Structure 1
Amino acid sequence: MPAPLLFLLSGLTQYLGAAVAVRLFGALPPATVAWLRIAVSAVLLLGWARPWRRGPWDRRRLVTTAAFGVVLAAMNVSFYVAIAHLPLGTAVAIEFVGPVAVAAVTGSGWRERAAIAVAAVGVVLLAGVSLHTGGSARVGLLAIGAAAAFWAGYIVLGRRVAGQASGLSGLAVGMTTGAVVLAPGFAGAAGPVLHDLRLAAAVLAVAVCSSVVPYGIEQVVLRRVSAATFAVLLALLPASAAVVGAVVLRQLPHLVDLVGLALVCGAIALTARREPPVVRAARNRTEAAADEGLG
């Protein structure tokens, strides 16, 4: 299956899970749903990745992975609070300011600077439309702004964790840490899940669709494409979120929303840079050698 199609499937699966999560907000607080997603995903990933077999886990590796997991959990909680007050496509588009900002700050050249300017215009359009709906939207905007900041931290820490851990082991340990750290604030409200089989099944579906499946697919995509191509493919996520929001939640976008969404997607695409042929060939040789070693 081509990498773009895999990535589109990842985005549709991820935000289908978010759409199911929105349905749970009537029975559970959004932040509690987010914590349950992290906790259940952590259990599933621990059983899948078995990180204790990927040792040794020295202190530095544990600290970095733990910080990564807490940021990841906080990002998800902020995002779920946001989509309780904003349309799903709008929330996802604004959240993408995080990775665009990271690319603009850590990169160089006109692409990154143009990307941050284009993203700013897109956010103004999206936020301007949402503000007309009152105080609830302002809460959503604050939450999604926090989620964007956490996503930036997730990218920075995630690169370090990826360099220290193999496969999904770092993700499993990080998610477990995030779930444990946030448990005192959210576990107490999760009681209804223990007494309602349907609710428990829905939470499991959210965890699988929004975390386990997308992360597994992205691992496949990352082995096939360059970092630049992966950055361009990220632009498919806001589009897939808008599709899920329109079809499942009936949150039909207006013209201004579509323009803002297109600008944010364009900003993501601008952050992708082509690798020189020599660099790309060296990277391919390194990945091939790593594949042989894993085999």
Structure 2
Amino acid sequence: MPTIKSPLLIAIISLLAAMITIQSGASIAKQLFPLVGPGGTVALRISLSALILMLIFRPWRARLSWPQWRSMCIYGASLGGMQLSFYFAIERIPLGIGVALEFSGPLLLALLSSKRKKDLIWVALAILGIVFLLPDMNGVDALDPIGVALALIAGGFWAGYIWFGQRAGSVGSGGMTVSIGMLVAAVIYFPIATQLAEASIFSWSILPMALLVAVMSSALPYSLEMVALSRLSTQHFSVLMSLEPAIAAMAGLAILGETLQWSQWLAIFMIITASMGSTLSAAKSPTKVTQE
């Protein structure tokens, strides 16, 4: 019995640690905004992350065909666009709400891929959750509409990241794919992000915190996810990943002091439930084998 449960326990702990790490990294990144702005934070994160991942996975060993390069470029563009739009979103809205809204992208992708009519239940629940996130857009507690729009755009990029990441994944290991994708993202978005950054982006005093963000947002959580993926089925991995909006909300509360209304916590729970329901429903497809 211990030989069965121990790998599963290690996988669950690794995945939870990955989510906590990446959302804590986002909270720390938000503290860089007053110094270098969201654009500067993105520029530092993608460039340092690309460097770290290149040193770890040595992507120059890959031999890519033209179709693979095309998928890789779109994958990298989606990865960078997701980070840029998300960081500008959480400049205006709380981290937990930003992640919950961003989650609409992969959730919609999963639901659009489904042929089951009963999955419309999860669509309705996700939409209801988003409605609860946006109470009175003219009231005292109204969310910034630009921040909301940017979070939804980030969700669209996230869906593209998943879609094209699956196609780019034929390059080899997942580490090779993400390292090349991050390099592409840096090449595309670093010039754009630096134009949107504060002048202090090139200050050496910023580097330690920026390096911490890069490690917590890429190398460390990615390594932990690889540990989890080697021990979990895709279904279990996706269900656990559905907890990320709640973890983001708690990270925002603990590190940034961002408090949410009860209706917004309920909305996050609805979106998590919709994501879990969609994942479990997809796992019942007769074309998939989930038992070993």
What's the TM-score once normalised by structure 2's chain length? 0.89
CA distance in 2, matches of 1:133, 1:230: 38
Cα deviation, 1:23-59, whole Å, max 9, x if unaligned, reads 1110112122122211110010001000122x32121
Show the counterpart of 2:116.
Answer: 109
Show the counterpart of 1:51.
Answer: 59
Show the counterpart of 1:142.
Answer: 149
The residue type equivalent to 1:176 in the other structure is L
Question: Pairwise CA RMSD of aligned residues?
Answer: 2.1
CA distance in 1, matches of 2:235, 2:139: 37
User: Would you say the 8 A contact 1:129–1:257 is kept in 2?
Assistant: no
Indicate yes or no: 2:263 matched with 1:280: no
Cα deviation, 1:67-114, whole Å, max 9, x if unaligned, reads 100110000000000100101111111111111100111112245322
The residue type equivalent to 1:37 in the other structure is R
1:11 CA drift (Å):
1.0
The residue type equivalent to 1:255 in the other structure is W
1:135 CA drift (Å):
8.3
The correspondence for 1:98, drawn from 105, 113, 137, is: 105
| Matching of residues 63-142 of structure 1 within 5 Å | 63-110=70-117, 112-128=119-135, 132-133=139-140, 137-142=144-149
Indicate yes or no: 2:52 matched with 1:35: no
Indicate yes or no: 2:42 matched with 1:15: no
Secondary structure of 1:272's match?
A: helix
1:221 CA drift (Å):
1.3
CA distance in 2, matches of 1:261, 1:103: 18
Q: Aligned in 2, Cα 1:93/1:150: closer, same or farther, shift over 3 Å? A: same
What's the TM-score once normalised by structure 1's chain length? 0.88
Secondary structure of 1:224's match?
A: coil
Indicate yes or no: 2:185 matched with 1:178: yes
| Matching of residues 116-265 of structure 1 within 5 Å | 116-128=123-135, 132-133=139-140, 137-188=144-195, 189=197, 191-197=199-205, 199-265=206-272
CA distance in 1, matches of 2:112, 2:262: 31
The residue type equivalent to 1:11 in the other structure is M
Q: Which range moves more in the overlay, 33-42 or 72-81?
A: 33-42
Unaligned stretches of 5+ in structure 1? 285-295
Percent identity (aligned): 31
Q: How many residues align?
A: 280
Secondary structure of 2:123's match?
A: helix
The residue type equivalent to 1:51 in the other structure is P
Q: Which range moves more in the overlay, 186-195 or 142-151?
A: 186-195
Cα deviation, 1:136-165, whole Å, max 9, x if unaligned, reads 711101110100111111110111122333
Secondary structure of 1:251's match?
A: coil
Show the counterpart of 1:291.
Answer: none
Q: Aligned in 2, Cα 1:136/1:96: closer, same or farther, shift over 3 Å? A: closer
The residue type equivalent to 1:90 in the other structure is I
Q: Aligned in 2, Cα 1:231/1:184: closer, same or farther, shift over 3 Å? A: same
Cα deviation, 1:240-275, whole Å, max 9, x if unaligned, reads 111111111111222101110100000110111336
CA distance in 1, matches of 2:225, 2:256: 25
Secondary structure of 1:119's match?
A: helix
User: Would you say the 8 A contact 2:39–2:194 is kept in 1?
Assistant: no
Q: Which range moves more in the overlay, 159-168 or 130-139?
A: 130-139
